[in-house]
Amino acid sequence: MMAARGNKTRLRGLARRWGALLVVFLFFLVFVLIDKRVKHSGDTMGFCPSEAACAVLSTDFPAFCSKLAATDAAERFMAKTPRPFDSFELAVRKATGVRPTPLRWSIWLGPRFVASRWNNAYGVCVHPGLVLRLVHTLRTLCGARPNGQGLHTFAEHYYAWREGFLIVSASPDYVLAAMESPPLEALSLDNEPRLCVRWPDGTIQISAEESIPVKGMLDVDLNAGGTLSLHQAWPESTFFSVTAHNAEDTLRLWEIAQRSLQKTPLYQELVPVARTLWKHWALDAPPENWSSHVAEFSAAFMGIDTRQTFPVPEWAAMMRPTSLDGPFQHPWESVIAPLAPIDYAWEGRQGVIATLLGEKFAVCLAKDNERWMATSQRELMTHLLAVDPPRLETDADVVLQVNWQAMGRKAEELLRKAGELELIPEMNVQGADVYLGKYARSVAELGRLEIFGEATESGLAFRGTLVSHEDEEVANQ
Amino acid sequence: MRFFVVWILLLHTCGSFAFGATTRSFCENVFGPVDCAGTMGNGRLTIALSNTGRIRSVHWPSPGYFDQLSYDVRHDDTGGVYVPENHGLRWAVRTTETVFRNHDDYFVHPERDILVVSLVPQAAQEGSTIYWCANFTPCTRLIPEIPLGDSLFDYANDFAVFTPDNGRTIVHFRPQGLRVSDWDKARALVRQEAALAEWENFDEGVWIAQGASKPPTGFQCGVSRDASSAFAQAKKGRLAGETAAVGDCDSAFQFSWSGSGNAASPLAVYIAFGKTYSQSIENLQYARGKGYVALLRETQAALKTRAASLEAATKPQQELLEVILTCMDRETGALVCMPLAQPPMHIDIPRKGVMGAYALGVAGRHNLVRKRIDFYLNALREEGTPGRPAGSIPAGLYANGAEALPHVILDAEAVAWVLWLCAKHAEQLPSDARATFAKEVASKIEAAADFLETWADPRTGLPRTAFNPDKLRDAPSPELAIHTYMGLQSALALAALSGQERPDWRKRAQELQ
């Protein structure tokens, strides 16, 4: 009896001493549980305008960012650019008082994330937890009222709530369009945090793992079957190359790339120039059905000649004929006939050179026993012929390769030049190097991108890696 | 009153200085229509006028230097063209609402770099408010091989605008070799409403000081496309009186119209240019000290003197020579196709520019021809690199002699034309001066002629292909063979003047014959 009374008294004492803390803990626990439930409630991904040009979705965006930041590619990138998004972080901190980190994003905005571009406006949709909802309630209690269209404003942005989702954009039209659009279906992903990019021509899923693997689908009808080998025939320093069974397939891929570029100012300025030039150049067409004699076609952007101020692009193409028998004439010889080409031999291999705009922007054609080749400079052909014809066959219908290292280094050089010529607003050569050059140096650390595509009935299914793993980099060097 | 203006004549004559019809049509397709009805200048400060009579470009310190004004000709949805309302130099009158006007009169002082604009608002009543708005975009660098610094890359020009005397003078400027810290410093000066001395400390570059013949009643230094924009505020009818701005700047003066102005004594705005603040202010003070009428008289007198010195037989010849002198850099002798921020207009195209020099020779201005010859000969490439063989000349040149067109354009005919010009100049010189001239230019002539001699296709015996303006690419052309022959013959004639015989050149010329 005495002992029982003693226990009760001790419990009361404990409750008196720790009760408040316990209540706070219990309240916190309940809050966290409800918060979690709120953040994960509902089946949809969120909302964006149904006509969005591109949408980025993730079921757990903060986890994706955390995992991505832990990859060796991100470490290599951030070794040169420790804070790649510092201006964005600063803007968010100035607007909200909170510096964005994956943890803080998760607490305030929740795991689900949708961002999209629509009519040149950008917007975000998230499913926040209790904290942000409480802040919104407090703002409302303090007198914040929606405008005539039902939109709230905060830090020069408009926002609205729909079915528990928060839609934010600098454009009120974007928010209104998202409010009227059907919900985005939930992503059928496994438990791994991924980022999914959707646009009218296809989807890509990006995994936050080493080498950043990707897979996806492209709505394009390509020739199926067979193997490819020419993608291995490019020199190491090639910026990027695309290899397919024939030139038409490459053009189909270019058309898709073009569609996403069509609304950019650079495209709108450059394409009319290119078209007008092409019209004036009046080169001949290749022979009819020339492509049917091609079993494999590979085009590459080899680099940019920056020996003088005016940068000159360097390109090349390789083709493997369907048959090694026959006259074996280069199919593009007729194209350059109006340029009065002159004969030339590269270490015994016969070819022709036709200058289009001087020696640096010429058309050089040559062939060896297995390939037809074309380059824009004489020296490029020499480099190309120095690489042995590939022997290994890859089971794919399309191969895309990008050399981040070569592109990053050239970008750094071009940025320095642009700074020197005062082409970057408010920056000189030092400014361009310090503020922008670091991104180019970071990109140069990423190694290579390799994507392999397979033509299917429903389109082009592809998979590959966006960057090289550190071990591969060491092996390449 | 449009002194130095040579109307459509300019398009007909200088237009042919550019590469040719194909190139012009290509450039118009890409960069918009050529909107230029005339030009005026003093060989340093040069302005071009649009077809509606607006000042559409202001080139300083040379007709071949970049445009110091924001002025875009854009296409609208209906296929027409327009100039954005906040571009260029404009004046406006406010009665019930602000109405922008485009018509005014102007002249360039013949000696000092001063542009004088007179506003005579015929319809304005006494008490009306007049605004003068300017969107200068000072540009301090020439981009080698890319003559787009004032069109495609105009976004990167400009720096700051300020008033040193509470609105009586407004100065637009951009120092050379700007650093990131200069931008930070200028922004801090704007925040602190800094004293004049702080602004004066910036390095030399392009300084444009504006002032008027009467004190303004308001002013604004603002940033384009911003609430502080002087154009936007003038349209609303209220200038805020901000004393400085940094970025893509514009400015405005406000005047109260007394109604007493007339064509003889209008409201005049003086725009003075200089490499430093003090130079531009000195020019402005000169203009203010003299006043509109005296400046006008000085200009008229100088024009008369110049016209008398031209020795032209006919009026069209005199007009042509005036065009040439207006488009010619006073210091270097570069002759631009047209002082217009539209490539390839404000550059010297050697293959066509030689004709301008020849015309000067016909008019007896041998000193100017020699200046132009030296300009071309100094531009000959001394060392060969891929695509730029030794002895060739850049297809286009800035007024300072730097390459103005991409080096991938190899204009072999230009070399032949320069040799032809040298030979013609020698012919026009008095006999005792010919041999001296030939000796002075011998080494350059040798380099140029050697290039022409070796630029040959061994298979055909014809010259190797080079840039063909009609096709906008390299292509064989009969003209190239003919002009190469002409160039070699000219080189042989010049060599003979200094007592030399060049069998290698002669052999090549005979092959071409």
* Residues in B touching A338 (Cβ below 8 Å): 475
* Phi, psi of A353, rounded to the nearest 5 degrees: -125, 130
- Number of A/B CB contacts below 8 angstroms equals 99
* Residues in A touching B406 (Cβ below 8 Å): 310, 357
DSSP letter string, A186-253:
PP---SS-EEEEEETTEEEEEE-STT-EEEEEE------SS-B-GGGGS-TT-SEEEEESSHHHHHHH
Q: Identify whether the C-beta of residue A122 lies closer than 8 Å to the C-beta of residue A116.
A: yes
Q: What letter represents residue A195's amino acid?
A: L
Query: Tens digit of pLDDT for each residue in A132-182?
Result: 999 999 999 998 888 888 899 988 899 999 999 999 999 999 999 999 999
Cβ–Cβ below 8 Å for B407 and A431: no
Cβ–Cβ below 8 Å for B410 and A358: yes
Rg (CA), chain B: 25
pLDDT at position A329, please? Answer: 77
Query: Tens digit of pLDDT for each residue in B189-248?
Result: 999 887 778 899 899 999 999 999 999 999 999 999 889 999 999 989 899 999 999 999
Q: Is A310 helix (H, G, I), strand (E, B) or coil?
A: coil
* CB-neighbour burial class of residue A87 (10 A; exposed 0-12, middle 13-18, buried 19+): exposed
Average pLDDT rounded to a whole number, residues A410-415: 96
Short-list A234, A229, A220, CA closest to A396: A229
Cβ–Cβ below 8 Å for B407 and A310: yes
Q: Is A315 on the interface with B (CB under 8 A)?
A: no
Cβ–Cβ below 8 Å for A361 and B408: yes
Enter the DSSP assignment of B49.
E
Cα separation, A395 vs A454, in Å, equals 8
Distance from CA of B158 to the nearest CA of A (A): 9
Q: Which residue has the tokens 């390449």?
A: A476
* Residues in A touching B153 (Cβ below 8 Å): 423
List the single best residue of A283, A310, A342 to mutate versus B (max B Cβ within 10 A).
A310
Q: What is the ipTM of this complex?
A: 0.85
Residue B261's pLDDT band (boundaries 50, 70, 90)? low
Longest dimension (CA), chain B: 81
pLDDT at position A455, please? Answer: 94
Q: Identify whether the C-beta of residue B17 lies closer than 8 Å to the C-beta of residue B355.
A: yes
CA atoms within 13 A on the CB side of B402: 14
List the single best residue of B66, B203, B472 to mutate versus A (max A Cβ within 10 A).
B472
| Least CB–CB distance from B183: residue in A309, A354, A426 | A426
Query: Tens digit of pLDDT for each residue in B333-383?
Result: 999 988 887 777 889 999 999 999 999 998 888 999 999 999 999 999 999
CB proximity under 8 Å: A 234-293 to B = 269, 272-273, 276-277, 280-282
Cα separation, B154 vs B378, in Å, equals 29
Question: B422 is written with which tokens?
Answer: 């040298």
Separation of CA B32 from chain center: 18
* Residues in A touching B177 (Cβ below 8 Å): 428
CB proximity under 8 Å: A 434-453 to B = 434-435
Residue A6's pLDDT band (boundaries 50, 70, 90)? confident
Distance from CA of B388 to the nearest CA of A (A): 8
List the single best residue of A270, A426, A430 to mutate versus B (max B Cβ within 10 A).
A426
Helices and strands (DSSP H and E) totals, chain A: 14, 19
The chain B residues in contact with chain A (CB within 8 A) are 22, 26, 29-30, 140-141, 143-146, 152-153, 155-156, 177-180, 183, 385-388, 403, 406-410, 457, 459, 465, 467, 471-476
Residue A328's pLDDT band (boundaries 50, 70, 90)? low
- pTM over cut 0.80: yes
Q: Which of the two residues, B53 and B113, has the higher pLDDT score?
A: B113
| Least CB–CB distance from A339: residue in B26, B153, B475 | B475
For residue A423, the chain B residue with the least C-alpha distance is B156
pLDDT at position B424, please? Answer: 96
pLDDT at position B2, please? Answer: 32
* Residues in A touching B459 (Cβ below 8 Å): 342-343
Question: A171 is written with which tokens?
Answer: 């454009």
For residue A435, the chain B residue with the least C-alpha distance is B180
For residue A422, the chain B residue with the least C-alpha distance is B156
List the single best residue of B150, B403, B408 to mutate versus A (max A Cβ within 10 A).
B408
Question: A459 is written with which tokens?
Answer: 């389109």
Cβ–Cβ below 8 Å for B141 and A272: no
Residue A115 has pLDDT above 50, yes or no: yes
Query: Tens digit of pLDDT for each residue in A222-246?
Result: 988 789 999 999 998 999 999 999 8
Cα separation, B103 vs B91, in Å, equals 8
Report the relative pairing of strands B466-468 and A54-58 from DSSP bridges: unpaired
* CB-neighbour burial class of residue A282 (10 A; exposed 0-12, middle 13-18, buried 19+): exposed
Listed in sequence order, the residues at least 6 apart from B404 whose beta carbon sits closer than 8 Å to its beta carbon are B142, B144, B145, B147, B344, B347, B348, B394, B396, B397, B398
Query: Tens digit of pLDDT for each residue in B10-66?
Result: 333 333 334 566 666 666 666 667 788 889 999 999 999 988 888 999 999 999 988
Q: Is A182 on the interface with B (CB under 8 A)?
A: no
Query: Tens digit of pLDDT for each residue in A75-111?
Result: 999 999 988 888 888 888 887 788 889 999 999 999 9
Cβ–Cβ below 8 Å for B406 and A426: no
Cα separation, A76 vs A215, in Å, equals 23
Q: Is A337 on the interface with B (CB under 8 A)?
A: no
Residue A276 has pLDDT above 60, yes or no: yes
Question: B332 is written with which tokens?
Answer: 């270097």
Residue B3 has pLDDT above 70, yes or no: no
Q: Is the dihedral of CA A28, A33, A34, A39 positive or negative?
A: positive
Q: Hey, how many other C-beta atoms are within 10 angstroms of the C-beta on A101?
A: 14
Cβ–Cβ below 8 Å for B146 and A310: yes
For residue A361, the chain B residue with the least C-alpha distance is B408
Q: Is A461 on the interface with B (CB under 8 A)?
A: no
Cβ–Cβ below 8 Å for B406 and A338: no
